[in-house]
Amino acid sequence: MLRAAAHKKSPRPKPRRWSAFVTTDSTHPPEGLFNKSAAVIARSLASKKGSPKGPGSGMRMLTFYINRAGHNLNATRKAELNKAKKLLSERIAKEKEKSRKAA
């Protein structure tokens, strides 16, 4: 008869998170931007001053912020940030449509 061996889990070291070491100079959001309303966040991240490479870069910055904050975001703040993502994606779609019509 086989006996089940008691398996002890050895404590594993915490994994190193790549996002902790990200440093970028491609976007320059103002201090405290992600604590403001969705419309302000979307407008700022779509501007050339906030993200010089365009609104797509701003969208990546917003997504990175949401992912980095993780479970530390409360539900209302996360909803506001997701609303900002929706507004920003609509703005990106309008710009793409405008550039297609011009071409």
**Domain positions in the chain:** 32-102
Whether residue 19 has pLDDT greater than 80? no
pLDDT at 101: 84
Which residue's entry shows tokens 């700022």? 44
- At 26-40, the pLDDT tens digits run 666 788 999 999 999
- At 77-103, the pLDDT tens digits run 999 999 999 999 999 999 888 888 887
> Mean per-residue pLDDT for 43-61?
86
Contacts of 64 (CB under 8 A, 6+ apart): 19, 22
Work out the mean pLDDT of the chain and round it to a whole number. 83
Q: Taking Cα atoms as reference points, which of 92, 94, 78 lies closest to residue 38?
A: 78
